[in-house]
Amino acid sequence: MHFNPLFRATTTLAAVAIGLSACGGGSAPTPAPTPAPAPTSATARLDESSCPYALHSSQILRSTVRCGVLVVPQDRNNPSSPTLRIPFAVFKPATASTLTPVVYLTGGPGETWKERLATVKAGESPGFVEGAQLPRDEIVLEQRGSTGTLEPLTCPTVSWGPEMFRNATAALFAALPGIQACADSLRAKGLQPRHFTTDDLAADVDDLRRLLGHPKVVLNGVSYGTNWALAVARNHSAGVEALVLDSVVSPAVFPGRTTAEGIDRAFTAVAAACAEQPACASAYPNLDARLSALLDRLNTQPLPWKRGPGGEFNATVALGALFSVAQFTPQSYPAAVTTFENLVGSGLSPDALPSDQQDLLAELAREGLDSSIAPAPGQVWSLVCADNATTTATELAAGAQRVRPALQPAMAAWSGAFYAICQSWPFRSDLPASAYQPLKSPVKTLILSGSLDPSTPPAWAQQVAGALANSTLVRFPTRAHSIQSASPCARTLVSAFLADQPLNTSCAATETLTFE
């Protein structure tokens, strides 16, 4: 589960001939004052008449697992609001436990549990990667508006790809009508994007906790899930016992303003880690400078690519693919840079590559480039535009310029796309001011951060930790994004944290990264 920042990157399309003001009117430095988030609603209920998930055959419904849908008002301030049906599941330990349950919060935004739960055998944990089931209830809940729910904010007609880099004006005018049409179609179905915010997702979690009969829960969030967990702790603190935050993001760190810098810094950090290992340094010398040269070449002379996103292999496409590699498999990053160098140096189009290699390359590139691949882009826009609503066009533009020149055109294109989409999307632009302030809380918190993470930079984790008086921040020098999925040390620390045992964090520094 991850938070993909390339769609949420920064800067402006000020040169485009339309007057782009702040995203949806929400980019004033301080949002309009509004009441505190609505409390969880007494009208919420559970419907367990059927299980919305295809579970593994070893699971026994109402014995090893309990599942159904959480039925909640779309707008908790409106008694006549339409309801939303949000699937949930509770995995039960072999022996009934009075320990505080763990709720796993997915990333993305937009990640769902549908495919994962079909593979979870009895005795396995749904969220604790490669781990046996914990001696407590383990709970999963879908994000409202995602394709895991029964009312997803899908936009099948919208496509927004890397062609924005070559002709931003044309891409803008081609995409915005589809985005506006999607918003109109959702509202015609009774779905109002302004009610799909992180605060609304937080209230869903608290409703589920209350209806399941738990006084408190522990929240384990990864990437966007950390933002979700922080919102639950901010708005519904009485129901939160502890937090595990893995790869941290929060509106309080103003992610849109520093995303580009985080990506640039991560590329440099991976190159430096390679240079420290003799074998890697010999095989891939001067890696960071070679990245700049590669992108400069593609900025000037992209290669045609019929099957690729946007119809060509340009710096935007290459950067999107390299970002995806660095985010989850940094050990493959030096080889990926070299592969792209060889491709560009030969002058061959990626069309000459075998089909399976093209498919992989296109998948990696589209991971960060084309919002139409998001299963429910309307949900992503509703959440991310609201979370970045206090960032101005000037701040966005400045963020894209604080990187090496070779990265600036792509960063400007990504950020301009985000800015234009938010301008056309009916997100909630008047969240309470508290949504953009650091959470100050005594809640017990374990924070995991990867030094090589291009998606949620270590600086973001440091900022969040600074406001949490009872937090432990563990930096993993050789890890990137989603620490628990990659690090045995992280899983050991989370287990000890949940058991309220002392934490020996020294293992984080002993983990190694072996480059391919």
Tell me: the pLDDT tens digits for 245-297? 999 999 999 998 999 999 999 999 999 999 999 999 999 999 999 999 999 99
Tell me: pLDDT of 372 over 50: no
pLDDT at 371: 45
Q: What is the mean pLDDT of residues 170-184?
A: 81
Residue 452 has which token pair?
A: 């090589």
* Domains of the chain by start residue, with CATH: 1-40+100-516 (3.40.50.1820)
Residue 154 has which token pair?
A: 């899908």
Are the beta carbons of 406 and 291 closer than 8 angstroms? yes
The Cα–Cα gap between 304 and 311 comes to 6
pLDDT at 359: 86
Mean predicted lDDT score pLDDT of the chain: 87
Q: What is the mean pLDDT of residues 318-322?
A: 90
The Cα–Cα gap between 448 and 456 comes to 11
Tell me: pLDDT of 362 over 90: no
Tokens 């001011």 locate to 433
Please name which of 513, 3, 79 lies closest in space to residue 256, comparing C-alpha atoms: 3
Decide which of 417 and 446 is more confident: 446
Decide which of 454 and 34 is more confident: 454
pLDDT at 231: 97
Total Cβ atoms within 10 A of residue 300: 9
Chain-centroid distance, C-alpha 393: 22
Q: What is the mean pLDDT of residues 319-327?
A: 92
pLDDT at 417: 75
Q: With cut-offs at 50, 70 and 90, classify the pLDDT of residue 179.
A: confident
Please name which of 108, 122, 100, 88 lies closest in space to residue 153, comparing C-alpha atoms: 108
Tell me: pLDDT of 34 over 50: no
Q: With cut-offs at 50, 70 and 90, classify the pLDDT of residue 41.
A: low
Total Cβ atoms within 10 A of residue 266: 25
Cα torsion for 48, 50, 51, 52, to the nearest 10°? -110
The Cα–Cα gap between 188 and 183 comes to 9
Residue 392 has which token pair?
A: 């101005």
Q: What is the mean pLDDT of residues 40-48?
A: 83
The strand pair at 471-476 and 303-304 is best described as: unpaired
Where are the alpha helices (H) located in 403-487, listed in sequence order? 408-424, 458-466, 483-486
Are the beta carbons of 12 and 393 closer than 8 angstroms? yes
Tell me: pLDDT of 330 over 70: yes
pLDDT at 374: 60
Q: Which of 6-15, 193-202, 449-458 has the lowest mean pLDDT?
A: 6-15
Tell me: the pLDDT tens digits for 425-441? 999 999 999 999 999 99
